[in-house]
Amino acid sequence: GEDVEQSLFLSVREGDSSVINCTYTDSSSTYLYWYKQEPGAGLQLLTYIFSNMDMKQDQRLTVLLNKKDKHLSLRIADTQTGDSAIYFCADHRSGGYQKVTFGTGTKLQVIP
């Protein structure tokens, strides 16, 4: 089956950059997403990237996609305590949203 894998935990100091990594197995992925989940809340879409792109930048967020290695990363520049949350990688295969597969989530802890 299709898998999306992430490390479970990342700790960084406030002001440093955070890099959250994700690997996926399905080569037919068309879009890849990053979602953020704050405590006690649902998931919010942060950003997404088309599978034919290598990089997407949106303010403090940079998404890098290595399609050959099926590796996706999310870099958060100047990480703030408000960035503490769980970050989910998700891939969307063609055929509709019922084929979105979520990773296990990476818990980002920002140390003041």
Contacts with another protein by CB under 8 A lie at 4, 8, 30-31, 40-45, 48, 50, 88, 95-98, 100-105
Given the complex with another protein, which of 17 and 50 has the nearer CB atom? 50
Decide if 77 contacts 19 (C-beta within 8 A): no
88/38 Cα distance (integer angstroms): 11
Given the complex with another protein, which of 62 and 104 has the nearer CB atom? 104
Given the complex with another protein, which of 61 and 100 has the nearer CB atom? 100
The 3-state DSSP class for residue 68 equals coil
